[in-house]
Amino acid sequence: MMRAGRFRYVVAKSAAEAAQALADGGGKAMLLAGGTDLVPNMKRRQQMPEIVVSLRQVAELREVAMNGETAIGAGVTLADVVRDPRLRQHGALFRAVAQVATPLIRNTATLGGNLCLDTRCNYYDQNYEWRRAIDFCKKAPGPEAVAIDAVADDGDGTCWVAPSSARCWAVSSTDSAPALIALGARVTLLSSRDGAREIPLEALFHDDGMHYMTKRADEVLTRVRVPHDGVRSTYWKLRRRGAFDFPALGVAAAVRFGTAGVVEHARVVLGAVASKPLLLPESSLLVGRALTDDAIAEFVDATARWAKPLDNTDFLMTWRKQVSKLFLGGVLRELRGDDVQTFPLLARRAATLRNPVW
Amino acid sequence: MSGHRVVGKPRRRVDGRAKVTGQTRFADDLQFPRMLHCKLLRSPHPHARILNVDTTRAERAPGVHLVLTGKDFPVTFGILPVSMDEEPICREKVRMAGDPVAAVIAATEEEAAAACELIDVEYEPLKTIADPLEALATDEPRIHDHGDHGNVHKKIALEFGDVDASLAGADRVFDDTFFYEGNTHLALEQHAAVALLDPDGRLTLHSSTQVPHYVHRQVARALELPAHKLRVVAAPNGGGFGGKTDVFNHEVVVAKAAMLTGRPVRICLTREEVFLCHRGRHPVLMRLRTGVKHDGTIVAMDLETLLDGGAYGSYGVASTFYTGQLQTVTYHVPRYRFRGCRTFTNKPPCGPKRGHGTPQPRFGQEVQLDKIAVALGLDPAGLRLQQLEKPGTLTANYMRLGTIALRQCIEKVVEGSGWHDKWQKLRDGRGLGLACSSYLCGAGLPIYWNDLPHSGVQLKLDRSGLVTLFCGATEVGQGSDDVLAGIVAEVLGVAPQEIKLLTGDTDLTPVDLGSYSSRVTLMAGNAAIQAAERAKAIVAAGVSAKLGIPEDRLVFAEGRVFDAEDPEQGLSFQDAVIVAEGKHGIIGTTGSYRPAVSAAKYKGGGVGPSPSYSYSASVVEVEVDRTSGWIEVKKVWIAHDIGIALNPVLARGQVEGSVYMALGEALMEESAMRRLPARLSSALVHKFPSMLEYKSPTTMEMPPVETYLVEEPEPNGPFGAKEVGQGPLLPIMPALANAIFDAVGVRIDEIPITPDKVFKALREQAQGRTPRVGPASFPAIDWGEISIVPPPWEGGDGRAINEKPRKSKVVESGVRLAPDSPGANVSDGVKR
Amino acid sequence: MRRSPTNNARIALTVNGETKELLFAPNKTLLEVLREDLGLTGTKHGCELGECGACAVLLNGRPVLSCLVLALECDGRQVETIEGLADDARLHPLQEAFADCGAAQCGYCTPGFLVTAKALLDERPNATRGEITEALSGNLCRCTGYIQIFEAVEEAAAKMGAKESK
Ligand SMILES: Cc1cc2nc3c(=O)[nH]c(=O)nc-3n(C[C@H](O)[C@H](O)[C@H](O)COP(=O)(O)OP(=O)(O)OC[C@H]3O[C@@H](n4cnc5c(N)ncnc54)[C@H](O)[C@@H]3O)c2cc1C
Ligand code: SF4
Ligand code: FES
Ligand code: FES
């Protein structure tokens, strides 16, 4: 039986209490939401917080409010996102969340936990014994793996994915983040030191496999706000199986169309190809013109450089790169209204809406 | 089947209730007072000498009761007498990352794990060998000091007729190389074992094993215990698929620990450790040359196989033979040459997985037949139908075949799938593929040589009316308990649920060799019939005497024994037993089964013979995406020649489960290993020993399956039954590969068939190159002297004409199980 | 191994309708407490990392993975396991159907499938094949190929529906 190490367990009754507990923990405390990322990581000894701060009783984090915008508490479970009919209008969010892990996991996993999900790598998401057999790597440099942000320094260990590299290339594997970034979401971070601050979601992430978030260790993510700005959005996920698997590629797009199909606003985001979700700057090239085949082809060519998958997830990296082009074009075709049933098999599967119970 | 009341009728399996209430007690569900917990410390090095193991700190750690090292285990063990090369805990060196170097037994599992980290081990790393080509090229260091030479474990060379002459005379010769990547069983239950001393001081080992009898022999050997001092109880297995047919180091370790501590000692492996135990499908590189006439008739076949055996012998010698021995049992092959080679590498050992050694060459053979059909402009179904082997044939390599309903199987799937309207006729991107296969109904020989029954059943009938059945067979999910109960119920005319079963317990049940090689239905089934018929005769004699009805007029049915001519006249089954017990005394009967002697007298002829062979045919329909190479299986049609289905619900479940497992292997499962850049590290680790990254199909991947159970009773089978647990897996992988060719015109001569490979082949196709992904070549191997065995139709008698006369057999007495010494006696008839 | 000197935790755990006061180490998951402290070994484990579904139980009626839920997090919540599925000696229609349809071969995945299917039918009594497939996609089975499992859920749903409409 894989077992978590020992820790001290603290139950927070409010977000402020949780923030205080993190501050008191001085980098040795971690938040526990659904635990579907943290608990396996503790069992594999990738993360070994000395203090675990439970968010279970923080009711304020579990609220969903709609007034001119959508506000979702960080503690809302993914299953509740899936079942809430009001959230369906955010197509990309629904599709992303409905494809996270498995129904059983979505019943406990939270949106906040999904956004803060640890980055992933085939050399890192392994048992302690396995990692010892490869003499560990940068991201978890030794027996004393610790809580996020408290990782000692960047010098130790080899990155087995890119041995000559000074950084860690672990992959941002959250499904909801690319979707929410495309939707223009903003997140609120609360700390006992500075109170609340709100940032655009894309600013939450760093392109670094170890320090993958700009959020400080003492900050609690409390809320996600999504504007109601008339966009149409979608999310395509590449994975080996129809359940369980993390994205080997995720592409989210949100587009607002004006008259005659002219694009007024567009955000396209690539997930699972770097240590953070990539909001493609070329999205702006789409604005002011219709999504013609030519416009889409130009966009795909212009953005191809972003997808630089490495050999640390499922699937051959060169093939993932190929699929990223198919998906980048595909999401735009879907949004301009093409009949997805006419798409080639893989695109058709990616575009077909699934409708899980949880 | 006419007249049967139980056999052939769909019904709830006898252990169904236990399984749906959570009451089935798997090995890790056993809890005993004062139970201690064991953890093994495993080597991080793939190949290293152990210089020192210092356990002092661990011994002083909280909760620790005992620390064991290799010094505590002087005796090796192994499943085959020819390769007793495993150690409960390694003594001088480790041969793979994951080999145990110490064991801690503590009050809790947490404490045992913590103490493991306090053990200091000094290693001296050795050069590692990661694949068969390296093994062939590296004589030193040797991973083992047994085997043919260097790091070659076993070489086989057999020739049945002058193959070169036939190939030279053939109209066309097709020459292909294939590769089949290794994969693993991934039974949902992780291996667990608990050992304890029973009240009279004897050692009992409960384990999730498919082979309690072999575990009994080997644990007794490794602990130097007289066999009668050890009891092995097989818990119901949470899935086996061959992964629990070996004897494992952890079983020996907890047994020893229980002896030393006097307390129950439990171990349950983590999922990663299960990946390290492995014994899964061997990675096999193959070259197959087949000569045919213009009409597609096979004139000769020449097969070479190269197996990556991993770090231990395991069943490897048998596995190697299996990569060649069943190539002759489906289509008529007049001349055949088979050369196989297994190498040692520093990786988890391979062994038997569903289909043991045969899916790999079957894949090659059936894909090549498809290529032959396409090249010669023939229908793949017709090509096969025109040269099916005939029932009762003795094949070129001396396999005696029984009934063969493969023709009907092919006809079923051809008709069901609309083959003639669809093959080569669907739009681009859609395609159909067909393939056939065959499998054993039990190995003809046990893995150690003896003259004893392979299976035994005892029955006890008493005045309560209860029938109790004792058999060494093991329930691994396949329904062996149900088969036994169903058979006895049929004979005695009672309901299967009224039969109490006691199985897989070496103290209480007669020996059955185990749940492997699809042997239980046929062998234990026949033993059960014999025991039941004997019990029936005793009861009939009693009833006849009491009621004055001739015995041959008595019918046993519906819980009664009555006169066929006047059904009112009779007794309830219970009363009948009471009457018989009064006349006969206490009623107990036995039945045993031993297969007939094989016609294959040549060295190695012990692998392959079986009392009967099952046959399967399948059509798979796919959609393939030209833009990405993505593959979706639309539907599978599968027909299986089952003899008769004892319980059609279970039979269908075995077929569908086989299709499922086959699709996993065909499309995504891989026991891939990872070596780090040599200049930085000598690590050689399993690439992804987890259920998340070892991709096993979920509900979302399962296509609709149309199953046809083709029933043509097999005289050697109980009520005519054949196996169904393994055979239906075999045709799926080649049928899928053939379907992909039909859909987009590319050949993937490699398993698994992943979208990137299809995409690559499509690229080749677009650029006008050979649209194929697969191995480029097969290495030149010095096969040494080949055994020449003329086929039956060329005057052969089953012996090699150039083989030296053999030493006399080592026969074991049935009473005391003498410890095996390496090479002393026989494995699967390999060394005699 | 570094172990913070953390005391055992005492909570009241309600399993299958019965509340028990339990004392256990705080790092234990619900799976460990069910199997090791309560002896409820009907709940199985195949990975302990959320990757197989064998350990599924109902938590306040929702199917969750007991290997990922800390037992401490279940304070004050309702846990239902395979042992609580039958109504006294009467099996749940899903149990009957699983036994009859061949949906349990080795039976090791079965408890997880049964509780998940129960939650599904409680919420969608007329679940379609597509919904069943999707809802059970977090439960791996290596034996059956799933088809007989789907059929069993459908048979149970039909029986439960028939009973309801009477
Ligand atoms: C088998 C398996 C498959 C999976 N597949 C996917 C997948 O396909 N896609 C995917 O995106 N994820 C997947 N996951 C990961 C995980 O289940 C989800 O990301 C989930 O949403 C995490 O949420 P949680 O509430 O369980 O997080 P937790 O495990 O509780 O927390 C995750 C991290 O976030 C931090 N955290 C949690 N809440 C907050 C907060 N409010 N403020 C600040 N920090 C916080 C925690 O401290 C921790 O570091 C999978 C997991 C498993 C085990
Ligand atoms: S990318 Fe490199 S450093 Fe980061 S987790 Fe993977 S191997 Fe370790
Ligand atoms: S034990 Fe595998 S998901 Fe919990
Ligand atoms: S019945 Fe064996 S794993 Fe499902």
B519-541 pLDDT, tens digit each? 999 999 999 999 999 999 999 99
User: Mutate which of A48, A123, A130 to test chain B, going by most B C-beta atoms within 10 A?
Assistant: A130
Ligand 4 center to residue C107 CA distance, Å?
Answer: 5
Binary contact (C134, A356; C-beta < 8 A): yes
Binary contact (B649, C148; C-beta < 8 A): yes
Dihedral angle, C-alpha A16, A20, A25, A31, nearest 10 °? 0
Q: What is the ipTM of this complex?
A: 0.96
Q: Is the CB of A221 under 6 A from ligand 1?
A: yes
Ligand 3 center to residue B272 CA distance, Å?
Answer: 13
Residue B32's pLDDT is 97
| B471: nearest Cα among B518, B529, B558, B517 | B529
Q: Is the peptide bond before B752 cis (omega within 30 degrees of 0)?
A: yes
User: Mutate which of A38, A48, A104 to test chain C, going by most C C-beta atoms within 10 A?
Assistant: A104
Sign of the CA dihedral running A179, A180, A183, A184: negative
Binary contact (A36, C68; C-beta < 8 A): yes
Q: How confident is the model at residue B806 (pLDDT cuts 50, 70, 90)?
A: low
Residues 50-89 of C with CB under 8 A from B: 51-52, 54, 81-83, 85-86
Q: Is the CB of A112 under 6 A from ligand 1?
A: yes
| B461: nearest Cα among B581, B545, B543, B546 | B581
**What is the C-alpha separation between A43 and A4, in angstroms, rounded?**
4
Binary contact (B699, C48; C-beta < 8 A): no
Domains B155-183+280-445+603-773 and B452-593 agree in fold: yes
User: Which residues does chain C have within 8 Å of residue B651's beta carbon, measured at their own beta carbons?
Assistant: none
| A190: nearest Cα among A211, A168, A160, A220 | A220
- Arithmetic mean of pLDDT, B363-385: 98
Q: Is the CB of A125 under 6 A from ligand 1?
A: no
User: Which residue has its alpha carbon closest to ligand 3 atom 3?
Assistant: C50
**What is the C-alpha separation between B264 and B195, in angstroms, rounded?**
6
Ranges of H-type helices in A99-204: 103-106, 111-116, 128-133, 176-182
Residue B166: other Cβ atoms inside 10 A: 20
**What is the C-alpha separation between B467 and B477, in angstroms, rounded?**
23
pTM over 0.90: yes
In chain C, the residue whose alpha carbon lies closest to the alpha carbon of B116 is C1
Ligand 4 center to residue C144 CA distance, Å?
Answer: 6
Note down pLDDT in tens along chain A; length 358 residues: 999 999 999 999 999 999 999 999 999 999 999 999 999 999 999 999 999 999 999 999 999 999 999 999 999 999 999 999 999 999 999 999 999 999 999 999 999 999 999 999 999 999 999 999 999 999 987 765 444 444 444 557 899 999 999 999 999 999 999 999 999 999 999 999 999 999 999 999 999 999 999 999 999 999 999 999 999 999 999 999 999 999 999 999 999 999 999 999 999 999 999 999 999 999 999 999 999 999 999 999 999 899 988 999 999 999 999 999 999 999 999 999 999 999 999 999 999 988 899 9
**What is the C-alpha separation between C64 and C43, in angstroms, rounded?**
12
Q: CA of B190 to nearest chain C CA: how many angstroms apart?
A: 6
Helix (H, G, I), strand (E, B) or coil at A267: strand
| B832: nearest Cα among B607, B630, B648 | B607
Residue B820's pLDDT is 39
Give me the residue from B16, B24, B657 closest to C143, CB to CB: B657
In chain B, the residue whose alpha carbon lies closest to the alpha carbon of C143 is B657
| A265: nearest Cα among A234, A300, A229 | A229
User: Which residue has its alpha carbon closest to ligand 2 atom 1?
Assistant: A169
Residue B78's pLDDT is 97
Integer-rounded Cα Rg, in Å, for chain A is: 20
Burial class (CB in 10 A: 0-12, 13-18, 19+), B706: middle
Report the alpha-carbon angle C18-C19-C22, nearest 5.
130
**What is the C-alpha separation between B104 and B42, in angstroms, rounded?**
11
| B226: nearest Cα among B786, B819, B827, B832 | B819
Q: Is the peptide bond before B141 cis (omega within 30 degrees of 0)?
A: yes
β-strand pairing of B455-461 with B587-593? antiparallel
> A348 — phi, psi (to 5°)?
-60, -45
User: Which residues does chain B have within 8 Å of residue C114's beta carbon, measured at their own beta carbons?
Assistant: 20
Interface of A with C (CB under 8 A): 1-9, 32, 34-36, 39-40, 43-44, 48, 50, 52, 54, 56, 79, 101-105, 107-108, 144, 242-244, 354-358
Query: Over pLDDT 70: what percentage of chain B?
Result: 96
Query: Over pLDDT 90: what percentage of chain B?
Result: 95
Q: Is residue A260 part of a domain?
A: yes
Residues 6+ apart with CB under 8 A from B52: B120, B121, B122
Residue A328 belongs to domain with CATH number: 3.30.390.50
Ranges of H-type helices in B396-492: 406-417, 419-422, 480-492
- Arithmetic mean of pLDDT, B370-393: 98
Lookup: tokens for A102: 């498995």
Binary contact (B236, C107; C-beta < 8 A): yes
Q: Is the CB of A179 under 6 A from ligand 1?
A: no
- Arithmetic mean of pLDDT, B674-692: 94
| A48: nearest Cα among A167, A143, A171 | A143
For the structural domain made of B35-126+188-239+244-277, what CATH number should be given? 3.90.1170.50
Report the alpha-carbon angle B796-B802-B807, nearest 5.
100
Estimate to the nearest angstrom the gap between the alpha carbon of C33 and the chain centroid. Answer: 14
Ligand 4 neighbours by CB, cut-off 6 Å: B 188, 239, 477; C 104-109, 141-144
Q: Which CATH number fits domain B155-183+280-445+603-773: 3.40.50.1370, 3.40.50.720, 3.40.50.970, 3.30.365.10?
A: 3.30.365.10
β-strand pairing of C62-65 with C56-59? antiparallel
Residue A330: domain span = 232-350
Dihedral angle, C-alpha B518, B311, B43, A128, nearest 10 °? -60
Binary contact (C68, A79; C-beta < 8 A): no
Ligand 2 center to residue A159 CA distance, Å?
Answer: 5
**What domain count does chain A have?**
1
Q: CA of A315 to nearest chain B CA: how many angstroms apart?
A: 8
Residue B527's pLDDT is 97
Considering only the top CATH level, what class is B452-593?
A: alpha beta
Q: How confident is the model at residue C1 (pLDDT cuts 50, 70, 90)?
A: very low
Q: Given strand B467-471, what is the order of strands in its sheet?
A: B499-503, B467-471, B455-461, B587-593
Lookup: tokens for C16: 């299958």
Identify the helix (H) or strand (E) that includes residue B555. Answer: strand B554-557
Q: Which amino acid is at B594?
A: R
Does position B798 have pLDDT exceeding 90, yes or no? yes
Q: Given strand A220-227, what is the order of strands in its sheet?
A: A64-66, A69-73, A220-227, A186-191, A195-200
Q: Count of A–B CB contacts within 8 Å?
A: 105
Binary contact (B693, A122; C-beta < 8 A): yes
Q: How confident is the model at residue B19 (pLDDT cuts 50, 70, 90)?
A: very high
> A264 — phi, psi (to 5°)?
-100, -30
Report the alpha-carbon angle B683-B688-B692, nearest 5.
160
Q: Is residue A268 part of a domain?
A: yes
Q: Which residue has the higher pLDDT, B625 or A150?
A: B625
Q: CA of B649 to nearest chain A CA: how many angstroms apart?
A: 28
Q: CA of C37 to nearest chain B CA: how many angstroms apart?
A: 11
User: Which residues does chain C have within 8 Å of residue B271's beta carbon, measured at their own beta carbons?
Assistant: 46-49, 51
Which of C80-92 are b and which e, b meaning 16 or more Cβ less than 10 Å from the residue's Cβ? bbbbbbbeeeebb
| B252: nearest Cα among B292, B213, B221 | B221
Identify the helix (H) or strand (E) that includes residue B575. Answer: helix B573-584
| A350: nearest Cα among B703, B755, B630 | B630
CB B409 within 8 A of CB B640: yes
Domain residues of chain B, as ranges? 35-126+188-239+244-277, 155-183+280-445+603-773, 452-593
| C63: nearest Cα among C20, C120, C14 | C120
List, in order of start, the domains of chain C with CATH numbers. Answer: 2-83 (3.10.20.30), 93-165 (1.10.150.120)
